[in-house]
Amino acid sequence: MYLALREMRFAKTRYLLIMAIMLLVSFLVLFVTGLAGGLAYANASAVENMPATHFLMQQDASQRFARSIVGEKELNKARSVVGDANAQRLGVQMTTVTGGTDGMKTDITLFGVDMGSWLAPTVVSGSAVSNTGAGEVVVDRKLAEEGITVGSLLHDQTTGLTWTVSGFTENQSFSHTPAVFMNLSDWQQLKQQMAGRAAADPAFAAPFNAIAIQATDAEAELLSQQLEGTAIITKKQAVASIPGYKEEQGSLMMMISFLFVISAFVLAVFFYVITIQKTSQFGILKAIGTKTFYLARSVVAQALVLAAASLAVSCMLVAVMQAALPASMPFQLSPVTIGYTCLLFIAMSLLGSLVSVIQVARTDALDAIGRAAG
């Protein structure tokens, strides 16, 4: 560190400039990572926050809730394998409702669940919906921004049904729309309307889209062997199959990876150029008995100092920005994610300094003798 720090002190401008670049890149990495996290959350939090481990869907549904239809037969089979409580009906239906202050139209996703089971949403304000109540729903807090309050009416465009908001839940979105939870009898009625049947036909068994399962991987495997025409997918797969999720996350991930590679390259080029410039210095240092290891460590230390300093500043900037961003902005960056991102960034910086380390190792102490500076 003796040489590393003194050189940075001497050539301040040079190192500050490269730090500025590293700072911008690392800030962008953190920002895009936060954006990816926020978008992922807005896209899939309803599924991610479900305490299910697996979902049972129709085989040819491409793992998508909307395309899958399952019924009582599959449910009974699943319950016989994993236990009655561990397999629950799940209805998923995207629709458009009017409601709120100025009767604005809003896209929402309806979830039909057993309100007595572990699929029931956690209510943060207002009251929960029971399995016996009729026409009552628990909605995601995002709807409050549209002027929806407890007691508001949501009017479904497709079926003409109307539901009363009984309470709010939070962090429940599906494909960027707020989730609206109803009990299974309301779900039955919804499906009946959609199928064009007269109200309250007891003979009609409403299909649902998936069966949410709490099971070990071994049980899930067993179940998939026993049931034909269905697929058991993990929660992760279900999330990734939400329309737009993979595309959105994929392009953001590509940006992030590119930024990481860019940071490594920027450092690599910077250190390579200054290392080449310093070849004669390294020759002299080696001639007077400096170990290659010491010199290599010095280069690596500089890369580390640069990376750490720029990360520290960009973490502060991100914290400031996070506080300033409007709540509607999809931005989510947990300390753990920041930690991992920083570690990866530092690893990439080390990788970038490696080329120079090799260059330092190659420098011959003999260079010092018999060669004039010019």
Partner 1 sequence: MTATKLMLNEITRVYHDGDTELTVLNKLSLEVKAGELVAVMGPSGSGKSTFLSIAGALLTPTSGEVLIDGESLAGKNGQQLSKLRLHNIGFIFQSANLLPYLKVEEQLMLVAKLADMDKRAAQARSAMLLERLGLLHRRSAYPNQLSGGEKQRVAIARAWMNDPAILFADEPTASLDASRGQDVVAMLAREVKAEGKAAVMVTHDERVLHLCDRILHLKNGVLVSA
Q: List interacting residues with Mg ion (CB under 5 A).
A: 370
287 binds partner 1 (CB under 8 A): yes
Other CB atoms within 10 A of residue 29 CB: 26
Q: Which does 7 bind (CB under 5 to 8 A by kind): partner 1, Mg ion, none?
A: partner 1
Cβ neighbours of residue 31 closer than 8 Å, sequence gap 6 or more: 318, 321
75 binds partner 1 (CB under 8 A): no
- In whole angstroms, how close is the CB of 365 to Mg ion at the nearest point? 15
Q: Which amino acid is at 12?
A: K
User: Which of these segments, 28-36, 149-157, 310-318, 360-368, binds partner 1 (CB under 8 A)?
Assistant: 360-368
Beta strands 125-126 and 162-169: pairing type?
Answer: antiparallel
13 binds partner 1 (CB under 8 A): no
Q: Which residue is listed with tokens 């409050």?
A: 144
**Residue with CB nearest Mg ion?**
370
Q: Which does 372 bind (CB under 5 to 8 A by kind): Mg ion, partner 1, none?
A: partner 1
- Residue 165 tokens, joined: 């908001």
Contact pick of 281, 304, 308, 350 for partner 1 (by CB under 8 A): 281
Contact pick of 169, 286, 314, 338 for partner 1 (by CB under 8 A): 286
Count residues near partner 1 (CB under 8 A).
26
User: Which of these segments, 67-75, 196-204, 283-291, 333-341, binds partner 1 (CB under 8 A)?
Assistant: 283-291
276 binds partner 1 (CB under 8 A): no
7 binds partner 1 (CB under 8 A): yes
Other CB atoms within 10 A of residue 45 CB: 19
DSSP letter for each residue of 252-266: HHHHHHHHHHHHHHH
CA distance 177 to 155: 16
- Residue 17 tokens, joined: 């400039």
User: Which of these segments, 208-216, 257-265, 277-285, 348-356, binds partner 1 (CB under 8 A)?
Assistant: 277-285
Q: Which amino acid is at 52?
A: A
* 296-321 b/e (C-beta count within 10 Å ≥ 16 → b): bbbbbbbbbbbbebbbebbbebbeeb
- In whole angstroms, how close is the CB of 366 to Mg ion at the nearest point? 11
Interface with partner 1 by CB under 8 A: which residues? Answer: 2-3, 6-7, 9-11, 280-281, 284-291, 294, 365-366, 368-373
